[in-house]
Amino acid sequence: MDQPRKPSTLTTDAPEGRLPPRQVLTRRFPVLSAGAVPAIDLETWSFTVWNGPRPLARWDWAGFNALPRTRWTKDIHCVTRWSKLDVAWEGVLVGDLMEAAGLAAPTPFTLALCFGDYSTNLPYADLADGRAMVATHAEGEPLTPEHGGPARLVVPHLYFWKSAKWVRGLRFTRRDEAGFWELRGYHMRGDPWKNERYDVGK
């Protein structure tokens, strides 16, 4: 996995209450990807909500972009210890996607699925009520491919590995199923304020 370049900008000099335990601040926007950037064609792009194997709703790029949009500014925290404050995100809240489809969560657990070989598990409670968005823009610009464009999940209150890049849908699962990093020992929830980096119990 790529590591951030040796930065001269790392500091722990954060405003009170903004830096979770054992994190440092960066002003850069490091790129961390487990594999190659997938080639994604907007003509065939889609976002799907499944209940297990069964698709419940699907949007193509035009349909997705017609959904109500939200802008928020949030801090992000990577498990490799960098945090970045005040990132401006724009996209569609997961709750607004569900509402647009007339869906209630069929199970309490989800797996975010991506173009390429990556996934991450999230309790639906961590996605609902304005806590997560499928973002298309960061800092006022369309997401670059390396940062997960055309669309990525952003779940800022959990470590940033939960913010799946190149997201293609959300699968509701009956049990809490581990995703890519969780299968490799990362924590099933990943709350930076609780220092939930690795799942010691697994």
Ligand X SMILES: Nc1nc2c(c(=O)[nH]1)N[C@H]1C(S)=C(S)[C@@H](COP(=O)(O)O)O[C@H]1N2
Footprint on this chain of Mo ion (rule: CB under 5 A): 32, 78-79, 161
Of the two residues 98 and 162, which places its CB atom closer to ligand X in the complex?
162
Check binding of 186 to ligand X (CB under 6 A): no
Of the two residues 47 and 160, which places its CB atom closer to ligand X in the complex?
160
Of the two residues 24 and 32, which places its CB atom closer to Mo ion in the complex?
32
CB 160 → Mo ion: shortest distance, Å? 5
Which residue type sits at 133?
Answer: M
Check binding of 133 to ligand X (CB under 6 A): no
When CB distances are held under 5 to 8 angstroms depending on the partner's kind, the choice from Mo ion, ligand X, none that residue 103 binds is none
Name the nearest CA neighbour of 148 among 131, 135, 162: 135
Check binding of 190 to ligand X (CB under 6 A): no
Q: Under a CB-based contact definition with an 8 Å cutoff, are residues 8 and 62 in contact?
A: no
> In the stretch 72-111, what mask flags binding to ligand X with x, by CB under 6 A?
------x---------------------------------
Query: How far is the C-alpha of 64 from the C-alpha of 104, rounded, in Å?
Result: 18
Query: How far is the C-alpha of 43 from the C-alpha of 61, rounded, in Å?
Result: 7
Which residue type sits at 100?
Answer: A
b/e 91-110 (16+ beta carbons within 10 angstroms → b): bbbbbbbbebeeeebeeebb
Check binding of 161 to ligand X (CB under 6 A): yes
CB 118 → ligand X: shortest distance, Å? 3
Query: How far is the C-alpha of 46 from the C-alpha of 63, rounded, in Å?
Result: 9
When CB distances are held under 5 to 8 angstroms depending on the partner's kind, the choice from Mo ion, ligand X, none that residue 91 binds is none
**150 cis-preceded (ω within 30 degrees of 0):** yes
Residue found under tokens 């309490």: 108
Name the nearest CA neighbour of 38 among 113, 97, 110: 113
Of the two residues 4 and 123, which places its CB atom closer to ligand X in the complex?
4
Check binding of 166 to ligand X (CB under 6 A): yes
Query: How far is the C-alpha of 183 from the C-alpha of 41, rounded, in Å?
Result: 29
CB 99 → ligand X: shortest distance, Å? 25
Check binding of 33 to ligand X (CB under 6 A): yes
Q: Which residues bind ligand X (CB under 6 A)?
A: 30-34, 78, 114, 116, 118, 147-148, 160-161, 163-166
